Amino acid sequence: MNKNPIKIVETVLRDGHQSLAATRMRTSDMIPVLREMDNIGYYALEAWGGATFDACLRFLDEDPWERLRTIKKYVRKTPLQMLLRGQNILGYNHYADDVVREFVFRSVDNGIDIIRIFDALNDVRNLECAMKATKDAGAHAQGAIVYTISPYHKNEDFLRVAQDLIDMGADSICIKDMAGLLSPYAAYDLVKTLKEKTSVPINVHSHCTSAMASMTYLKAIEAGADIIDTAISPFSRSTSQPATEPFVYTLAGRERDTGIDLQKLHSLADYFNIVKLDLAKTFNLNTDIPVDPKVLTFQIPGGMLSNLLRQMKEQGAEDKYPELLKEMPKVRAELGYPPLVTPTSQSVGSMAALNVTLGRYKMIPKEVKDLVRGKYGHTPGPIDPIIKKMIMGDEEPIGHRPADDIPPQMEKMAKNLAEAGYPNATKEDILSYALFPDVALTYFGKHRCENPVCPKNCK
């Protein structure tokens, strides 16, 4: 048995289909291979969180909690992992601490073993509550640092964030590169720094958006990374993770041999190929998303570039598009270098579009004002003082942890749900409602009858 294998987190049940199939994989698509997956020898299966929760309720008529319990029923040995957006849980707004805490506890109770927690701005105060709850619930708390490129995202900045997370109890650290910007040599240096200065396992999570991620992983492995996130081939590459199989083959017989049997992966890939074709057909999806190395120059995902171009065309301002490409990095710098991932990418993009069409900062969207006010936390770099003055006047920015302003919400949510006709709602249902009220109510309307003599026996 190899003493130092690279550990593999298989992402097909979460990020793989979130990236390539609009998060439409159904529980029934997963069940037939879950036992097989449990026997492969993965370090963990990323199977929940991110957009899967919303997609279950909104598009698939499924209860996400039920999905988790079902997966757990089949996956007995391999830890189940989820992705949590710190104080935002699975969305883009801050929730009260009692909701975050309850959500973490219910997740662990229903089957989650490892929780990867991140904040888009790397403001560790937004991870505090979720990290503590994860530790209290007895699960593995993985603190994630969001990777991006800016004068305020140097190795020493990332190291500082990692150390803060370890001080909060992080059991491992993930370098989370959502946009695929982490280059092979940058990864090598960053992983080396983290391995030298910390003593927890280092996990690298990237996307093939710029077509660099496989090279990036290999250099990260050479630098001593402990864990990589990959997706079985049919749900790999383009905007998803690198494929699992080439890593198993590349490292076989070497120092970092994964210990995984490639034949088993081939059979799994055959199965997921069929699932992918079926999802594309059923939901009318284009799963053949091209890679987009332009992200390396513009640091903006290609999807967003084409959206902006379309918006400009609609406003008859197509000729301003080259100007917009120059305006984006300027706005990003003025707003303190937020990473260009959802939702800050939208804020920066729409601000830049307004600037080139109406004049600089003549009209400012609410999300941009909130970012400047500190409503999401500290931006990585300082906000341009002139812009700040323009938006806030003499108002002081929020200096404390943003969630400190939010009073407890669980009781109120339970009360609202009771008033909506569900006085006996479970904690899980209350959380579904707290996170996605409209879609949860639609789902409950179909599946949660409080009538004790319901003719449809729907309980």
Closer residue to Co ion in complex, CB, 15/429 = 15
CB 48 within 8 A of CB 14: yes
Closer residue to Co ion in complex, CB, 15/119 = 15
Closer residue to Co ion in complex, CB, 10/327 = 10
Decide: helix, strand or coil at residue 99: helix
The one-letter amino acid at 56: C
Tokens for 364, please give them. 């400012």
DSSP string, 300-363: S-HHHHHHHHHHHHHTT-GGGHHHHHHHHHHHHHHTT---SSTTHHHHHHHHHHHHHHH-TTSS
Q: Cis link prior to 343 (omega < 30° from 0)?
A: yes
Please identify which residue in the block is written with the tokens 């406003």. Answer: 315
**Segment contacting Co ion by CB under 5 A, of 8-16, 100-108, 329-337, 395-403:** 8-16
What is the b/e burial string over 127-160, where b = at least 16 CB atoms within 10 angstroms of the residue's CB?
bbbbbbbbbebebbbbbbbbbbbbebbeeebbbe
Gap between the Cα atoms of 52 and 435, Å rounded: 13
Q: According to the binding rule CB under 5 A, does residue 164 interact with Co ion?
A: no
Q: Running DSSP on this structure, what letter comes out for residue 92?
A: S
Q: According to the binding rule CB under 5 A, does residue 10 interact with Co ion?
A: no
Q: How far is the CB of 207 from Co ion (least distance, A)?
A: 6
Tokens for 54, please give them. 């919303």
Q: According to the binding rule CB under 5 A, does residue 429 interact with Co ion?
A: no
Q: How far is the CB of 178 from Co ion (least distance, A)?
A: 5
* DSSP H or E run through 49: strand 44-49
What are the phi and psi torsion angles at 451 (to 5°)? -80, 115
Closer residue to Co ion in complex, CB, 171/177 = 177
Q: How far is the CB of 84 from Co ion (least distance, A)?
A: 13
Closer residue to Co ion in complex, CB, 237/448 = 237
Closer residue to Co ion in complex, CB, 10/15 = 15
Q: According to the binding rule CB under 5 A, does residue 177 interact with Co ion?
A: no
Closer residue to Co ion in complex, CB, 15/102 = 15
Q: How far is the CB of 413 from Co ion (least distance, A)?
A: 29
CB 416 within 8 A of CB 433: yes
Mask: binding to Co ion, 200-239, rule CB under 5 A, as x and -?
Answer: ----------------------------------------
Q: How far is the CB of 50 from Co ion (least distance, A)?
A: 8
Tokens for 157, please give them. 């900045």
Q: How far is the CB of 167 from Co ion (least distance, A)?
A: 25
Q: According to the binding rule CB under 5 A, does residue 334 interact with Co ion?
A: no
Closer residue to Co ion in complex, CB, 83/324 = 83
Q: According to the binding rule CB under 5 A, does residue 171 interact with Co ion?
A: no
**Among residues 304, 240, 275, which one has the least CA distance to residue 14?**
240
Q: How far is the CB of 177 from Co ion (least distance, A)?
A: 8
**Segment contacting Co ion by CB under 5 A, of 10-18, 37-45, 133-141, 299-307:** 10-18
Q: How far is the CB of 47 from Co ion (least distance, A)?
A: 14
CA dihedral 120, 279, 246, 81 (to 10 degrees): 40
Decide: helix, strand or coil at residue 377: coil
Gap between the Cα atoms of 10 and 228, Å rounded: 9
Q: Which residue is nearest to Co ion (CB)?
A: 15
What are the phi and psi torsion angles at 432 (to 5°)? -60, -40
Mask: binding to Co ion, 11-50, rule CB under 5 A, as x and -?
Answer: ----x-----------------------------------
Q: How far is the CB of 141 from Co ion (least distance, A)?
A: 18
Total binding residues toward Co ion, as defined by CB under 5 A: 1
Sites of contact with Co ion (CB under 5 A):
15
